[in-house]
């Protein structure tokens, strides 16, 4: 750190802009922040920008390093720039004749709307305000500016609550019978100022500072401090903005929108940020300053109306903002102020937009020849594409209803329906034609049938990778998890939230994009894009679908990574294909075991205490699995399909121990005996036998295949038979059989021998010869560390990054929710490693696996099939580490296609 501080000393810390020339430019966002670099760029372009200077983000770092002190040398640099500014403005800070007023504005590299602070009208004091009045012949304006300044300074710098000022302001308004702020005359405003100063004295225990140089220093430091206020920290956590980059401070000559009716202020966008439509968009207020437009004190006017009020300023604004959009090649979000009909630009930046707008704008800018497709790809945040797939609520209806609680937004979309508490009830109610929301404390794999029919899934516990979240995303079901305020009494079929009781059958609605839960019914409809993919709407009729496809086509032309889907069922495969997946990276065979009528057979297999009985049950499963695989291959149109042999511990397929005990007690209490009771008792015995202290590290994965080779035999047979049949029918499929949880090459060798033997048998029986691959999941660290050995048997690897993360950290993904948030709050971990790959640790294990694997087998096929396969930041990493493909749940395929293209172009979102 000492070294860094020394290096800082030699650098320029303050950057001037004014008189058509600036020290900085658009490429200096790191140092000047977005606002500072925009002001510099506009100045250089000859646009009307009030002069000023930017104190760089490096000074913010120094401020924190030096425990809230600014070195004297930097203070001097600021003073020199202030002199320069006074010269450019022809006014002097604190002067009684011609006082210079400035704003002191925060501005980091990434815009953080409303999170940090800004102070306007700095430089006023009891004398300067009279000077301002004399010079402008406008006492109302002078005192309006002064009261605004005391209020902002008092709030931001002296940390006095806003209410204290509001209270006085309202009192004066009332006593003078003023309706609007603008109705107050000079006398009333003088009264406001006097009262404000008293507020400062009593709340801050000091007089309002009269020395403008002291004001400036205090304001500057307060802006630096606002970098670390709670909401800014939270905002950075959500949007993954690092804490260390700091904010710049912009000191800029004030221009005044509050001098009268020939003045005003406003904000706007060069295109509609909600829809993407090419239209001038924004609002303004006459006789107002800065924050008034967004603060909602008065209702602003649509920007178009400015054309009537001040046609010249309006025309100039249109011309300037059009130019800015062309210059930056992106939609601009701008701020302006008009002082006595003279236009000034105060900010420009690329405008935040919805996913829908992002797609419209990117494709429009290419059509307008402003961008090349390659550049347009970079304008869209891959994550935002999800919004285009989610069902929606009518926003006006939604706003009307109060929010009952908020949970983690696990899977986007609008869901509305009647509450049910069990998966079976969900199915039963749906069969009666009702729409339901499945509310559970948490969901377990055998809730899947209930989840499937529900409009949405709402749970009280669990994180973003909990079962409910993963399955919700895979199904494209709106889901909220970890809504901790829900007190669920599943047995009583009701829950309480914030003092309200919700019973089975009551209506609940939620928005999986924001995490908001409301206790009412609100209508929603499926997204247009899904309607097209499901063939209920012709593509020709959906403009947004066409644009979406166009953008993703461009992405496909650029990306290096292949895109596959995690899909277990034919309809999922079909949908994934429609979304643009070209292969399946993970087909989990056990999900098929939960299918209609299969659980009893699976249970019979598990309950068998000898091989013969087990083989009997397996023989019953064989035709069912064969049909499944046949369907999945077909759904993927002959593209490669990786099928994983059975993975979870067997107890997951049996009823819960507690449930069985209750059933048995009930049967016994009612004096029943006979086959049902005996069956339950036998089940209970087996459940107890299968009990494990740590099932995730227990008898699962390849360990099952080794102890019950007949399961691997049956699954291989089903896969190869299905593939042979399809090949006979003319669809060439090359199945990839994947053995999970391998850590020892001998494990794989054992299983591969079975696969090869059965495959040979089947081909002989059917008389069809096909190609197939045998490979493994690398998800146990030992597997990665010995990947050179494993690759001697495996023809492909697929990194199972969920288990690999779990086993590398030693964090149970089902329990991590209890402490992850605290880890994040304490900055021990920045991100949830189950959502976005930990490149340093888990990533290093992946890299080792890649390098060792390829050492043995140059053409080893490499993929990843964990949840990370759909996460843009992780996709960047997988691209760099040289994998061949990523595999993600069907609904994440568009995100993955776009992120893979951005990775190939090597640009991270937000840069």
Which one-letter DSSP state was computed for residue 176?
Answer: T
Residues binding Mg ion (CB under 5 A) = 347, 779, 800, 803
Candidates 255, 513, 617, 733; binder of ligand ADP (CB under 6 A) is 255
Residues 842-881, mask of contacts with ligand ADP (x by CB under 6 A): ----------------------------------------
Closer by beta carbon to Mg ion, 169 or else 334: 334
Q: Are 181 and 148 in contact (CB under 8 A)?
A: no
Shortest reach from residue 290's CB to Mg ion, in Å: 8
- Are 273 and 331 contacting, i.e. CB atoms less than 8 angstroms apart? yes
Position closest to ligand ADP via CB = 290
840: number of Cβ within 10 Å: 8
CA neighbours closer than 13 Å in the CB half-sphere of residue 777: 27
C-alpha–C-alpha distance, residues 227 and 106, integer Å: 9
Least separation in angstroms between residue 58's CB and ligand ADP is: 20
Q: Which stretch binds ligand ADP (CB under 6 A): 69-77, 250-258, 737-745, 890-898?
A: 250-258
254 belongs to the binding site for ligand ADP (CB under 6 A): yes
How many Å apart are CA 891 and CA 580, to the nearest integer? 10
User: Applying CB under 6 A, which of residues 151, 252, 455, 524 lies at the interface with ligand ADP?
Assistant: 252
Q: Which is nearer to ligand ADP, 288 or 787 (CB)?
A: 288
> Which of the 8 DSSP states describes residue 12?
-
Q: What is the radius of gyration, based on Cα positions, of the chain?
A: 33
Q: How far is the CB of 336 from ligand ADP (least distance, A)?
A: 7
Largest Cα span, the chain: 104
Cα separation, 798 vs 885, in Å, equals 9
Least distance to ligand ADP, CB of residue 114, Å:
6
Q: Output 23 or 335, the one with its CB closest to ligand ADP.
A: 335
Q: Which residues contact 383 (CB under 8 A, 6 or more apart)?
A: 872, 895, 909
Residues 264 and 284: beta-carbon distance below 8 Å: yes
| Residue 266 or 583 having the CB closest to ligand ADP | 266
**Given the complex with ligand ADP, which of 330 and 335 has the nearer CB atom?**
335
Binding partner of residue 816 among ligand ADP, Mg ion, none, CB cut-off 5 to 8 Å per kind: none
Indicate the residue among 50 and 154 with the shorter CB distance to ligand ADP. Answer: 50
Name which of ligand ADP, Mg ion, none residue 803 binds, using a CB cut-off of 5 to 8 Å depending on partner kind. Answer: Mg ion
Total residues contacting ligand ADP (rule CB under 6 A)?
Answer: 16
Taking CB under 6 A as the rule, does residue 50 contact ligand ADP?
A: yes
**Binding partner of residue 50 among Mg ion, ligand ADP, none, CB cut-off 5 to 8 Å per kind:** ligand ADP
- Smallest distance from ligand ADP to CB 123, Å: 11
Alpha-carbon distance 292 to 425, whole Å? Answer: 52
Closer to ligand ADP by CB, 348 or 776: give it: 348
Backbone angle region of 276, left / alpha / beta, with phi > 0 → left and psi within -120 to 50 → alpha? left
- Asked if 652 is part of the footprint of ligand ADP (rule: CB under 6 A), the reply reads no
Minimum CB separation of residue 228 from ligand ADP in Å reads 17
For residue 18, give the nearest of 107, 82, 110, 112 by alpha carbon: 82
Select from Mg ion, ligand ADP, none the partner in contact with residue 800, using the beta carbon and a kind-dependent cut-off of 5 to 8 Å.
Mg ion
Give dist(CA 409, CA 464) in Å, integer.
8
The residues assigned a catalytic role are: 467, 865
CB of 285 to ligand ADP, least distance (A): 10
Task: Tell whether residue 61 is a contact of ligand ADP (CB under 6 A).
Answer: no
Residue 57 touching ligand ADP (CB under 6 A): no
Q: Is 779 helix (H, G, I), strand (E, B) or coil?
A: coil
Question: Does residue 291 touch ligand ADP according to CB under 6 A?
Answer: yes
Site stretch for ligand ADP (CB under 6 A), options 14-22, 253-261, 463-471, 508-516: 253-261
**Residue 346 binds which entry of Mg ion, ligand ADP, none, CB below 5-8 Å type-dependent:** ligand ADP
Rounded alpha-carbon distances, angstroms, from residue 42 to 29, 101, 119, 365, 571: 14, 21, 22, 22, 53
Which of Mg ion, ligand ADP, none does residue 333 bind (CB under 5 to 8 Å by kind)? none
Interface with ligand ADP, residue 524, by CB under 6 A = no
Using the minimum distance from each CB to ligand ADP, give the nearer residue, 102 or 720: 102
Q: Binding string, 306-345, against ligand ADP, x = CB under 6 A? A: -----------------------------x-x--------
**Shortest Cβ 101–ligand ADP spacing (Å):** 8
Can you read off the two tokens belonging to residue 347? 């900010």
255 binds, among Mg ion, ligand ADP, none (CB under 5 to 8 A by kind): ligand ADP
The two three-digit tokens of residue 130, written as one number: 């009279």
Kindly state the tokens that stand for 651.
């107890």
Helix (H) or strand (E) holding 405: strand 405-406
Which helix (H) or strand (E) segment is 37 a member of?
helix 29-44
Q: Which stretch binds ligand ADP (CB under 6 A): 249-257, 369-377, 685-693, 804-812?
A: 249-257
CA nearest to 113, candidates 407, 351, 331, 383 = 351
Which residue in 125, 247, 347, 459 binds ligand ADP (CB under 6 A)? 347
Segment near ligand ADP (CB under 6 A); pick from 246-254, 302-310, 782-790, 861-869: 246-254
Return d(Cα 192, Cα 172) in angstroms, integer: 7
Beta strand ranges found along 504-583 (DSSP E): 507-511, 516-518, 524-525, 562-566
120 makes contact with ligand ADP (CB under 6 A): yes
In sequence order, what DSSP letters do the residues of 100-165 get, joined into one string? E-EEEEEEESS--TTTS-EEEEET--TTHHHHHHHHHT-HHHHHHHHHHHHHHHHHHTS---HHHH
How many other C-beta atoms are found inside a 10 Å radius of the C-beta of residue 94?
Answer: 18
Q: Which residues are 54's β-sheet partners?
A: 15, 250
**Residues engaged in binding ligand ADP (CB under 6 A):** 50, 103, 105, 114, 118, 120, 252-255, 290-291, 335, 337, 346-347
């Amino acid at each position: 750190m000492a070294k860094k501080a020394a290096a800082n000393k030699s650098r320029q810390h303050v950057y001037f802009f004014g008189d058509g020339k600036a020290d900085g430019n658009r490429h200096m966002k790191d140092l000047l922040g977005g606002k500072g670099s925009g002001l510099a760029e506009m100045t250089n372009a000859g646009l009307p920008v009030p002069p000023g200077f930017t104190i760089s983000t490096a000074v913010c770092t120094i401020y924190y390093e030096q425990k809230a002190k600014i070195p004297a040398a930097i203070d001097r640099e600021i003073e020199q720039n202030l002199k320069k500014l006074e010269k450019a403005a022809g006014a002097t800070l604190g002067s009684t004749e011609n006082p210079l007023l400035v704003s002191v504005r925060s501005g980091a590299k990434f815009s953080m709307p409303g999170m940090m602070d800004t102070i306007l009208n700095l430089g006023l004091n009891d004398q300067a305000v009279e000077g301002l009045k004399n010079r402008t012949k406008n006492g109302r304006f002078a005192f309006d500016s002064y009261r605004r300044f005391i209020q902002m300074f008092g709030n931001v710098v002296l940390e006095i609550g806003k209410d204290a000022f509001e209270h006085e302001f309202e009192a004066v308004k009332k006593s003078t019978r003023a309706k609007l702020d603008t109705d107050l005359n000079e006398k009333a405003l003088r009264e406001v100022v006097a009262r404000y100063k008293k507020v400062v004295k009593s709340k801050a225990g000091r007089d309002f500072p009269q020395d403008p140089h002291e004001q400036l220093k205090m304001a500057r430091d307060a802006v630096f401090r606002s970098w670390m206020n709670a909401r800014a920290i939270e905002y950075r956590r959500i949007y993954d903005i690092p804490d260390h980059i700091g904010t710049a401070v912009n000191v800029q000559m004030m221009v005044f929108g509050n001098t009268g009716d020939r003045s005003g202020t406003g904000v706007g966008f060069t295109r509609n940020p909600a829809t993407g439509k090419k239209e001038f968009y924004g609002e303004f207020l006459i006789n107002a300053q800065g924050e008034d437009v967004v603060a909602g004190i008065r209702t602003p006017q649509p920007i178009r109306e400015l054309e009537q009020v001040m046609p010249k300023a309006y025309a100039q604004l249109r011309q300037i903002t059009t130019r800015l959009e062309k210059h930056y090649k992106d939609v601009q979000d701008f701020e302006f102020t008009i002082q006595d009909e003279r236009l000034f630009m105060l900010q420009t930046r690329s405008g935040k937009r919805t996913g829908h707008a992002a797609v419209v704008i990117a494709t429009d800018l290419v059509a307008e020849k402003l961008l090349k497709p390659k550049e347009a790809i970079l304008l869209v945040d891959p994550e935002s594409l999800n919004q285009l797939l989610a069902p929606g609520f009518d926003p006006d209806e939604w706003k009307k209803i109060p929010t009952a609680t908020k949970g983690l937004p696990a899977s986007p979309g609008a869901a509305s329906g009647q509450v049910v508490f069990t998966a079976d009830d969900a199915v039963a109610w749906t069969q009666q034609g009702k729409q339901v929301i499945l509310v559970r404390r948490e969901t377990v794999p055998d809730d899947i049938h209930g989840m499937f029919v529900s409009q949405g899934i709402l749970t009280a516990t669990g994180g973003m990778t909990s079962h409910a979240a993963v399955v919700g995303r895979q199904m494209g079901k709106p889901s909220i998890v970890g809504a901790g305020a829900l007190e669920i009494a599943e047995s009583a079929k009701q829950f309480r939230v914030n003092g309200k009781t919700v019973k089975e059958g009551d209506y609940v609605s939620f928005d999986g994009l924001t995490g908001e839960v409301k206790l009412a019914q609100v209508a929603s409809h499926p997204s247009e894009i899904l309607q097209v993919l499901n063939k209920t709407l012709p593509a020709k009729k959906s403009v947004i679908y066409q644009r979406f496809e166009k953008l993703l086509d461009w992405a496909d032309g650029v990306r290096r990574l292949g895109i596959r889907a995690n899909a277990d069922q034919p309809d999922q495969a079909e949908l994934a294909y429609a979304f643009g997946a070209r292969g399946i990276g993970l087909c989990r065979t056990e999900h098929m075991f939960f299918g209609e009528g299969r659980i009893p057979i699976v249970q019979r297999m598990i309950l068998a205490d000898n091989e013969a009985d087990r083989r009997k049950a397996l023989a019953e499963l064989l035709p069912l699995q064969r049909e499944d695989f046949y369907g999945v291959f077909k759904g993927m149109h002959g593209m490669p399909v990786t099928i994983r042999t059975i993975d979870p511990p067997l107890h997951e397929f049996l009823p819960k121990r507690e449930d069985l005990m209750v059933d048995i007690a009930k049967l016994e209490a009612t004096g029943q005996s006979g086959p049902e009771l005996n069956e339950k008792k036998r089940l209970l015995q087996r459940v107890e036998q299968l009990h494990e202290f740590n099932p995730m590290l227990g008898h699962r994965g390849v360990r099952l295949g080794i102890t019950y080779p007949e399961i691997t035999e049956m699954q291989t047979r089903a896969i190869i038979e299905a593939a042979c049949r399809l090949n006979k029918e003319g669809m060439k499929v090359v199945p990839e059989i994947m053995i999970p949880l391998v850590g020892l090459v001998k494990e794989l060798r054992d299983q591969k021998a079975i696969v090869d033997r059965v495959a040979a048998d089947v081909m002989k029986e059917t008389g069809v010869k096909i190609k197939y691959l045998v490979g493994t999941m690398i998800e146990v660290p030992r597997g990665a560390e010995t990947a050179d050995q494993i690759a001697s048997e495996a023809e492909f690897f697929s990194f199972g990054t969920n288990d690999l993360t779990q086993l590398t950290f030693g964090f149970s993904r089902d329990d991590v929710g209890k402490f992850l948030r605290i880890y994040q709050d304490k900055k021990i971990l920045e991100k949830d490693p189950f959502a976005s790959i930990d490149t340093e640790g888990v990533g290093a294990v992946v890299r080792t696996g890649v390098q060792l694997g390829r050492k043995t087998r140059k053409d080893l096929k490499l993929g990843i099939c964990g949840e990370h396969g759909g996460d843009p930041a992780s996709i960047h990493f997988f691209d760099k580490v040289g994998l061949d493909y990523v595999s993600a749940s069907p609904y994440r395929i568009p995100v993955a296609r776009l992120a893979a293209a951005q990775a190939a172009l090597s640009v991270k979102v937000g840069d």
